[in-house]
Amino acid sequence: MKKINRRQFIALTGAATGGVFLLNHLWERGESSQVSLQAPINLPRLHKSTNGLLELDLEASYRPVKLGQKQAYLLTYNGQVPAPRLEVQAGDTIRIRFKNNLFESTNLHYHGLHIPVTGNADNVFVSIQPKETFNYEFTIPQNHPAGTFWYHPHRHGLVAEQLFGGLAGLFVVRGDLDEIPEIKAANEEFLVLQDFALDGEGNMISEAHMSIMAGREGDLLAVNGKFNPTFSISKNGLLRWRIVNASPSRFYRLSLEKHPFYLIATDGGGLAEVIELNELLLTPGERVEVLIKADKEPGKYRLLNLPYDRGGMGMMGGRGMMGGRGMMSGRGMMGVNNDAPTILATVNYDAPVKPVSLPRKLLSVPALPKHKQVRHFTLNHGMVPGQGMVFLINGKPYEPNSIDTQVKLNTVEDWEIVNTGVMDHPFHIHGNQFQVVSRDGKPEPYRAWKDTVLVQQGETVRIRIPFRDFAGKTVYHCHILDHEDLGMMGNLEIQK
């Protein structure tokens, strides 16, 4: 491992000529006087449990990686962007020996898993200092649904920065959904959607040059760390895509030329039946599983990311109001992705197989009992003296030591989330999956398990959430991670 001081680092990366990058503000805050760029490493990209156990070493560090053909210097787990995929089954035990080789504190969150939120399981209050190790250990409940989950850092205040550096990986639980014959026969692929902002040398661009208020976005859109990768599909066959939006702020509005998506699973696992969609909107944190049917003319078809307006800062007053040009200038300032559609990937037809049909039935998604109490949450932003612009839930920015919401274990609640602001906010709850009941009073067309739900500007979304199995303190927040870091989070206590 090579250690370099700041001066050498700037010289090495050529940033002395006016470029500013991510790490600068750390030195300014006096948190670190050194950064270590480590050599590339070659470790497994997939870790599967065997005999009920998944055991692995996971290291977070700053390393050179290849993004497509591009040389980049990113934050990695085991030297990889995206991080290695973890695969388990219900009932398995997971042991992760985690080493923090970053220059700032971090931790791991297992987004979407229904596991303890305390101790050395999915505990976001753990803070692992640089050079420290932490042993995560937990068991996936026997009745845990199969699905596409993911892991990423969750150290409050640093989440957006670390995720934008590249720290994210898939956590797959296999089970009943994978055994449905048509799904089993489909060719399975994983799509980790990440965006990056790099300078000419491949260094991460500083957040001082990002629009933190809107939520930082990069102009490089990678799928599994590649630009426009090709996926093959056998003519007449089925392709199964498991997609995660692992970007800190960017929304993806996906469309595959000439092909509908057949939705089979959402955040928390399988649906009751296949839903046909021409477009998929995936906000940060959300996952979907879709089938694609190769029943068109053989050829190449592009997976596009279409424009989407997630609201902006235009109504928040003029320049300078935010106290620093970093807040107002730079890319994605308005949070509007209004350029031409971007090509994310290509689907290419292969030699034909015997026609495969779509599954007619999937899993059961039971209705939840109605609860008499409705809890209200209002999302907005505002000015707080001494803190500047902050993001608020029920008028308050996040306060680490307060309990904002207390619920009882083994109850079901309705939460009504109202967005009174001018930007979209994807609302996420840790530890328990919920169902969306209605949007602006209109019942949701189908039942599905979710852990992240988009609440658009001016919208009211009602969700129904059972608190099962695990007591303890955890969080809910906006999954535009800059908003989370800037206060749009609350502490949730699940009481025995």
Q: Which residue is nearest to ligand C2O (CB)?
A: 111
Cis status of the peptide bond prior to 82, with omega within 30 of 0: yes
φ/ψ of residue 28, rounded to 5: -60, -35
Nearer to ligand C2O, 259 or 479 (CB): 479
Taking CB under 6 A as the criterion, which residues in 95-124 touch ligand C2O? Answer: 109, 111
Q: Considering the complex, what minimum distance in angstroms separates the CB of residue 427 from ligand C2O? A: 11
d(CA 440, CA 419) in angstroms, rounded, equals 11
Q: Find the part of the chain contacting Cu ion (CB under 5 A) among 61-69, 220-228, 232-240, 472-480.
A: 472-480
> If contact means CB under 5 to 8 A according to the sort of partner, which of ligand C2O, Cu ion, none does residue 63 touch?
none
| Cβ at position 120, least distance to Cu ion in Å | 17
Give rounded-to-5 percent helix, strand, coil for the chain.
Answer: 10, 45, 45
Q: Are 256 and 347 in contact (CB under 8 A)?
A: yes
Give the footprint of ligand C2O on residues 117-176 (CB under 6 A): 152, 154
Q: How far is the CB of 267 from ligand C2O (least distance, A)?
A: 10
Q: Which does 487 bind (CB under 5 to 8 A by kind): ligand C2O, Cu ion, none?
A: none
Residues in Cβ contact with 13 at an 8 Å cutoff, skipping those fewer than 6 apart: 19, 21, 73, 201, 203
Closest separation in Å from C-beta 270 to ligand C2O: 21
The answer to whether residue 483 forms part of the interface with Cu ion (CB under 5 A) is yes
Identify whether 145 is preceded by a cis peptide bond (ω within 30 of 0).
no
Picked from ligand C2O, Cu ion, none, the partner binding residue 478 (CB below 5 to 8 A depending on kind) is Cu ion
Minimum distance, C-beta of residue 296 to ligand C2O, in the bound complex (Å): 35
Choose the one of Cu ion, ligand C2O, none that binds residue 464, judging by a C-beta under 5 to 8 angstroms depending on kind: none
Least gap, CB of 36 to ligand C2O (angstroms):
27
Q: What's the Cα-to-Cα distance from 489 to each of 78, 83, 117, 154, 227, rounded to whole Å?
A: 29, 26, 16, 12, 33
Q: Return the one option of ligand C2O, Cu ion, none that residue 477 interacts with (CB less than 5 to 8 A, by type).
A: ligand C2O
Residue with tokens 């092909």: 259
Q: From start to end of 92-229, where are the E strands? A: 93-101, 109-111, 133-139, 147-152, 169-174, 187-196, 220-223
Residue 240 binding partner per list Cu ion, ligand C2O, none, with a CB distance cut-off of 5 to 8 Å that depends on partner kind: none
Nearest approach in angstroms of CB 262 to ligand C2O is: 26
Q: Rounded distance, CA 348 to CA 477, Å?
A: 39
Residue number with CB closer to Cu ion (287 or 425): 425
Are 375 and 416 a contacting pair, CB within 8 Å?
yes
Tokens 């933190």, residue?
212
| 3-state secondary structure at position 279 | coil
**Range in contact with Cu ion (rule: CB under 5 A) among 106-114, 157-165, 225-233, 248-256:** 106-114
450 contact, one of Cu ion, ligand C2O, none, CB 5-8 Å limit per kind: none
- Amino acid letter at 290? V
Contact partner, 216, from ligand C2O, Cu ion, none, Cβ < 5-8 Å per class: none
Partner from Cu ion, ligand C2O, none contacting 154, C-beta within 5 to 8 A by type: ligand C2O
Tokens matching residue 349: 């037809």
Q: Using CB under 6 A, which residues numbered 278 to 297 contact ligand C2O?
A: 285
Residue 114 interaction partner, one of ligand C2O, Cu ion, none, beta carbon < 5-8 Å per kind: none
Give me Rg for the CA atoms of the chain: 22
Strand segments, DSSP code E, in 102-146 are 109-111, 133-139
Instruction: Please report, as residue ranges, which positions from 418 to 437 form the binding site for Cu ion (by CB under 5 A).
Output: 425, 430
Query: By C-alpha distance, which of 452, 476, 447, 243 is closest to 344?
Result: 243
Q: Site for ligand C2O (CB under 6 A): which residue of 114, 144, 381, 428? A: 428
- What distance in Å separates the CA atoms of residue 411 and residue 432, rounded to the nearest whole number? 12
Please state, in angstroms and rounded to a whole number, the distance separating the CA atoms of residues 246 and 219: 15
User: Do 449 and 432 touch, CB atoms closer than 8 A?
Assistant: no
Interface with ligand C2O includes 268 (CB under 6 A)? no
Among 47, 63, 209, 430, binds ligand C2O (CB under 6 A): 430
Nearer to ligand C2O, 358 or 390 (CB): 390
| Residues forming the site for Cu ion (CB under 5 A) | 111, 425, 430, 478, 480, 483
| Residues forming the site for ligand C2O (CB under 6 A) | 109, 111, 152, 154, 285, 428, 430, 477, 479
